[in-house]
Structure 1
Amino acid sequence: MGKRDYYELLGVNSNATDDEIKRAFRQLAKKYHPDVSKEKNAEAKFKEINEAYEVLSDPNKRLNYDQFGHMGTNTNSFGGFGNGGFGGTADFENIFSGGFGDIFENFFGGGKKQSGFRNQPIKGENISASVVVTLKEQMFGKTVKLDLNIDKKCESCEGTGAKDPKKYIHNCTTCDGYGYINIEQRSIFGIIKSQQPCPDCKGRGEVITNKCSKCKGQGHYRGKEAVEIELPKSIYENQQVRIREKGNYGLNNGSRGDLYLEISVKPNKYFKRVNDDLHLNLPISYLDALLGAEIKVPTFDGDVHLKLPSNTKTNSIFNIPNHGFFKSPTSSKRGDLIVNMIVTIPTKLSTEEKTILQKLKNSSSFKITDDFYENL
């Protein structure tokens, strides 16, 4: 398949001026450059317009093209990288100056010395720990004491990593103290410039010639730290609680990382949390259930007296308001205590108790009526 006409590719006529050709190419380059374009076959289209511009922007090549067509050009399929072709550094920057060049600078660094990575504060890493609490502690919160194994800031060198910061810290000669180095690579798009952290100073811009013996030049060391943490009230099991700046120390005076606590709750034999309510299965005497009584109901706020009516059955529910969990860690409103009565039967009876119960059994109140059997 033959090549398309170069003027047609750039969308200009054969009498177009140099400025018109340059403007047309810049617009198409913005549209089809593979690093920024989402157009289909953008790379192939970019190669075509680049080849057309290489010829039409050069007076001698354009004259030959106008006289002899494609046979009058000596370009390859994408142009060269020498002084005469597009792709050389000077031409590349000139074409995109004031417009598309800014985009390339963002992509590839632009080659300018900026603040870079030098001594930028780096936040410390986050750490995690687990805490086991009782149901009551879950309801009201708790002060937790932990011994954390963390990266601590070295007191000997004040986090600098040097035995004497005034004597043994110098600018890195590899990056001239900027913390990064510029990389230039040739590609089909020209010279691509990028930046990366300096391999010698790791982006600090400085090197240590005599390291601190305690932290071995790291500026921090592994050690124990005792902390007290206030767990909020009414947290949920398996909830992560974030405590800011209780994690590892940061580099270059960066802030500390965070501590994430994983909360587990010990099982309780009688109480159970259901949303904001607290449920209690309460064993009661069969005599109290039968005759009625005033009983004490244990709660996490202390005992509450409850009047039990006669003939209370198993699974009878009684509601004690405002004795459940708080609606939120910052709220004073609470759920309820839901008491489920469990009537218990004794497994052992004395002779006297058996005699009394036998007399009760023979009374009419404890007999099943004949009507029940007749209606079966």
Structure 2
Amino acid sequence: MAKDFYAALGVSRNATTDEIGQAYRTLARKYHPDINADPGAEDRFKEISEAYQVLSDPGTRARYDRFGPDFRQIPEGAERAASAGGPRGANVHFGQGGGIDFEDLFGGLFGAGSGAGRMSGADQEAELPLSVEEAYRGGKRQVSVTGRGGREYDVAIPPGVTDGQRIRLAGEGGRGRGGPAGDLFLRVRIAPHSRYRLDGRDIHLVLRLTPWEAALGANVPVTTPGGEVKVRVPPGTSSGKRLRLRGEGMPDPRGRPGDLYAEVRIMVPPKPDRRERELFEQLAAVSDFDPRRTR
């Protein structure tokens, strides 16, 4: 089936050279086979590449506009005759294209190499799921990336890596065509945790206290991804108060670590025994504290 080069790039017949180039670059990013794994992407890429090859050259474009699908078969003499009064406005059809100088066409879009026809491989990205503890500690680990033939990579995870941060594996991306391979970027995704909530490098957790610890104050042990630390609870601490421990959050190899925030939640015995009940009753009898009264 005959095709229209202008339609292939999605531009009008009056499009400027800049508009044609912009349309080609947009479509090339979408359909390049190193980026798009769809079975039809390579054929679509060839189609738009040929369309760009023809329409980006003013002389070739003029011949295509003048003679239609057979413009490559028209002798130079016939072209001059047509210029002198031959037929114009022929229907546009799809012709047989030639080769493409990828460096000229892409101009660094895909990291083209220095030689004509050479092209570096595309960078690729995959997700790297980590627990909070793994992100805190960092270290070496083997990672298998889905869709890459079960291949495993030795990855150095920096301590304190944050959600969304990328780890670069040089030369492990898409293969090049006469040029170097691209890079593989592993984007960190930290899994939700039952105890910790991360906000950048800050760690938030719930600190459960007994009524007497909250009322009298205490030094309470708290488990963090980095180990156990002590939290000083001031006397008269109520539920909802946040206690801040500077520097006890996620580490940062290049700067200051995050902080740890412990949010107080006062817990009571779910089933107080006889003695506990007596003590609570005595407290109720002597105390005039009313948390519902505005102070």
TM-score range, shorter chain: 0.5 to 0.7
Q: CA deviation at 1:274?
A: 2.2
Q: Corresponding residue for 2:221?
A: 296
Q: CA deviation at 1:148?
A: 4.3
2:155 to 229, 232, 240: 229
Higher RCO (C-alpha under 8 Å, 6+ residues apart): 1
- The two structures have a TM-score, normalised by structure 1, of 0.43
Q: Corresponding residue for 2:135?
A: 138
User: Where has structure 1 moved over 6 Å in runs of 4 or more?
Assistant: none
SS of equivalent to 2:275: helix
- The two structures have a TM-score, normalised by structure 2, of 0.53
Distance in 1 between residues matched to 2:201 and 2:207, nearest whole Å: 19
Q: Corresponding residue for 2:248?
A: 323
1:150 and 1:248 in contact (8 A); partners too: no
Distance in 1 between residues matched to 2:288 and 2:173, nearest whole Å: 71
Taking the TM superposition and a 5 Å limit, the aligned residue runs for 1:209-288 are 223-252=149-178, 254-288=179-213
Q: Count matched residues.
A: 192
- 5+ residue gaps in structure 1? 1-33, 37-79, 86-105, 108-114, 152-222
Q: CA deviation at 1:360?
A: 2.6
1:270 and 1:282 in contact (8 A); partners too: no
Distance in 2 between residues matched to 1:150 and 1:318, nearest whole Å: 45
Q: Corresponding residue for 2:40?
A: none
Residue type of the partner of 2:188? Answer: I
Q: Corresponding residue for 2:266?
A: 343
Residue type of the partner of 2:211? Answer: Y
Distance in 1 between residues matched to 2:285 and 2:147, nearest whole Å: 75
Distance in 2 between residues matched to 1:336 and 1:238, nearest whole Å: 19
Distance in 2 between residues matched to 1:131 and 1:81, nearest whole Å: 62
Q: CA deviation at 1:258?
A: 1.6
Q: Corresponding residue for 1:44?
A: none
Q: Go from structure 1 to structure 2 and tell me whether the alpha carbon gap of 1:361 and 1:136 turns closer, same or farther (over 3 Å shift).
A: same
Residue-by-residue CA offset, 1:75-123 (whole Å, 9 max, x unaligned):
xxxxx826xx8xxxxxxxxxxxxxxxxxxxx99xxxxxxx753xx4x43
Q: CA deviation at 1:228?
A: 1.0
- 5+ residue gaps in structure 2? 1-15, 19-78, 85-103, 106-114
Distance in 2 between residues matched to 1:149 and 1:315, nearest whole Å: 43
Distance in 2 between residues matched to 1:273 and 1:306, nearest whole Å: 19
Decide which structure has the larger Cα Rg and report it: 1
Residue-by-residue CA offset, 1:174-200 (whole Å, 9 max, x unaligned):
xxxxxxxxxxxxxxxxxxxxxxxxxxx
Q: Corresponding residue for 2:80?
A: 81
Q: Corresponding residue for 1:88?
A: none
Distance in 2 between residues matched to 1:138 and 1:312, nearest whole Å: 32
Q: Go from structure 1 to structure 2 and tell me whether the alpha carbon gap of 1:336 and 1:247 turns closer, same or farther (over 3 Å shift).
A: same
Q: CA deviation at 1:296?
A: 0.9
Q: Corresponding residue for 1:355?
A: 278
What value does the CA root-mean-square deviation take over the aligned residues? 3.8
2:162 and 2:201 in contact (8 A); partners too: no
Distance in 2 between residues matched to 1:297 and 1:337, nearest whole Å: 11
Q: CA deviation at 1:308?
A: 2.4
